Chains A and B, each alone.
Chain A
Amino acid sequence: MNRYMVQRLGYVLLGLITLSVVFPILLVVGTVVAQGAAAISWEFLTTMPHGGMKAGGILPAIVGTLLLTLGTAFAAIPVGVGGAIYLAEYARDTWLTRLIRLAIINLAGIPSVVYGLFGLGLFVLFLQFGTSILAGSLTLAIMTLPVIISAAEEALRSVPTEFRTVIISLGGTRWQSIRHVVLPQALPGIITGVILGLLRAAGETAPILFTVAAFYLPSLPQSPFDQTMALPYHLYVISTQVPGMPPHIQNGTALVLLALVLSMSVLATIIRSYFRRRRQW
């Protein structure tokens, strides 16, 4: 068998392996869609559950996830973008900067359930926020921080340095160069990164287990100090803790969560490619 045959076979082998990676992805998405589609109805999406969660809709879970995502955004975006600006524009290459980068890598690697413990210890107990949207959002925000910082820093660095030099030579300050040129030009990349971070936060269960999630609440949350239901937690409970749960509700919930997360992913991709085309550099 000559070398070219080996190569041909090798390519096929690699292709098959790749297929075995990709095919299950399609399988998962396809199964969830196929099995869950039957449950989706206007009623399912917009009404409150009843009958011990075995009937009715999942509105409070949807609302809860949206509220948590919003809360995460409010907390994580300023700190994340600010941190990224510091790293990209102001930081010098010192041991301190390297320590910051190490800290970010570590934050990115901490298990989600450990974030849940931390949120419990700090926000719920020590600061006495109780299990609340506030505690949950802050916990999710810290978990999302490394994603936003990394994406934002990359976006800022991709803006050509020449722009900064020009602004400085026109008598602008460093902050003016950031505010007027660098940040606006980096914005699409930053927004993409933020959306990707938020979609991860929306899908997480472990951090909200002890900090905010409740299985059944009679009404929608009224204040940040209220508990709330959330889609990931809801799916977990109804698929593992409730005997006799009709499968179509489980599938429907899984589909809604998956659809929410995937549509955010698609949105991020669209934003990224749209602005890349319109770039003036």
Chain B
Amino acid sequence: MTKVDISAKPSSRWSEFAIEAFIRVLGFSSIGLVALIFFFLLREGAPIFFETPPGDLFGARWYPTFDLFGTLPLILGSLLVTVTAIVIAVPLGVATAVFIREVAPTWTREVLKPMIEVLAGIPSVVLGFFGMTVVAPLVRTSLGVPTGLTAFTGALILAYMALPTLISVAEDALDAVPKSYRDASLAMGATHWQTIWRVVVPAARSGVVVAVMLGLGRAIGETMAVMMVTGNAARMPLSLDSIFRPVRTMTATIAAEMGEVAQGSTHYHALFGIGILLFLLTFIINLAAASTIFKRRRRGGLR
């Protein structure tokens, strides 16, 4: 019987080992990259904590030309725009997710999902451009404010940018609710509508929370669209009508001012310092979202 030569080739064993080692390195690269990013942000941003008394950094006036680096207006600006955006986006997003997943017939679903993917793909600068040229004038004329470039306009655009993430994660959460839950509810005589709101959505609660967290993270980090649409005035948004006035977010500040800044100057360090703050904020939000996901998976159940 002629045999296939099956003597072990020692070279192939080494190449298998080398390939696996190489792939292993690539696998660990993401940890290395996160560390690298944090390191370089610190490298360029840490000096600000020595050049300016920390109390001043949280002051209420951001006038870099006068060496005033109070970041409070920027932080509050980001907060205002982001929270408003989430307040707008969550009901819209959850309702849409419920509609797509629970109510819409298949053909409608097939049309809606690509449309939302289209929204996800529109570059933020294009949305900012649209916001500037179409939405802002609309806001100005319909609300009678001096300019349409306001926190509210920014929040509106931001809400729509966060929607695709929100909707898709919420959809997944609704999808994960076992059919048995729905069947049991219907078998007890509840209508589909009652089943949705009394059984399915509560069961998907934690998934929706994750969706909101991820949407929040997305919203805080958005740069171009808010920059083009919020008016870029680093004022403290303290009164109730501040929402209809210009503000400035942390992200827009970095983007707008970095180009004119001398490397190594205090202003430069301050901008990097804001970058560190943004990094930590999104890190915490993502950590919270991830731990919720992991906890859910380990428990194996729905809540």
Contact = CB atoms under 8 A, between A and B. Distances in A.
A contacting B, Cβ–Cβ less than 8 Å? yes
Interface of A: 3-4, 6-7, 10-11, 13-15, 17-18, 20-22, 24-26, 28-29, 31-32, 78-79, 82-83, 85-87, 90-91, 98-118, 120-122, 125-126, 142, 145-146, 149, 171, 173-175, 196, 199-200, 202-206, 209-210, 232-233, 235-236, 239-240, 250, 254, 257-258, 261-262, 264-265, 269
Q: Main SS of the interface on chain A? A: helix
B79 to A, nearest CB: 15
Given A110-B279, A114-B279, A90 B163 contact: no
Interface of B: 6, 12, 16, 19-20, 22-24, 26-31, 33-34, 36-37, 40-41, 43-44, 91-93, 95-96, 98-100, 103-104, 112, 114-119, 121-130, 132-134, 160, 163, 167, 191-194, 214, 217-218, 220-224, 228, 251, 254-255, 258-259, 263, 271-272, 275, 278-279, 282-283, 285-287, 289-290, 294
Contacts of A111: 220-223, 251, 278-279, 282
B27 A91 contact: yes
A145 B31 CA distance: 12
Contact of B31 (A18, A31, A103): A103
A210 B123 CA distance: 18
B69 to A, nearest CB: 16
Contacts of B27: 82-83, 85-87, 90-91, 100
Given A18-B95, A110-B37, A117-B272, A32 B44 contact: no
A258 B191 contact: no
A78 B29 CA distance: 12
Contact of A102 (B93, B122, B287): B287
Contacts of A171: 6
Contacts of A32: 126, 129-130
Contacts of A118: 36-37, 40-41, 275
A31 B271 CA distance: 35
**Looking at B27, B30, B100, B285, which has the most chain A CB atoms within 10 Å of its CB?**
B30
Given A31-B130, A121-B43, A239-B133, 9 more contacts: A20-B92, A21-B92, A86-B23, A90-B20, A90-B24, A111-B222, A117-B254, A145-B33, A236-B228
B163 A126 contact: no
A70 B43 CA distance: 30
Given A14-B98, A24-B160, A257 B132 contact: no
B228 A239 contact: yes
A91 B27 CA distance: 9
A199 B126 CA distance: 14
Contacts of A113: 221, 223, 251, 254-255, 275, 278
Nearest to B45: A117
A238 B13 CA distance: 58
Contact of B30 (A100, A200, A257): A100
The 10 closest A-B pairs by CB, nearest first: A86-B27, A203-B123, A111-B221, A82-B26, A7-B193, A121-B40, A14-B99, A17-B95, A109-B286, A103-B30
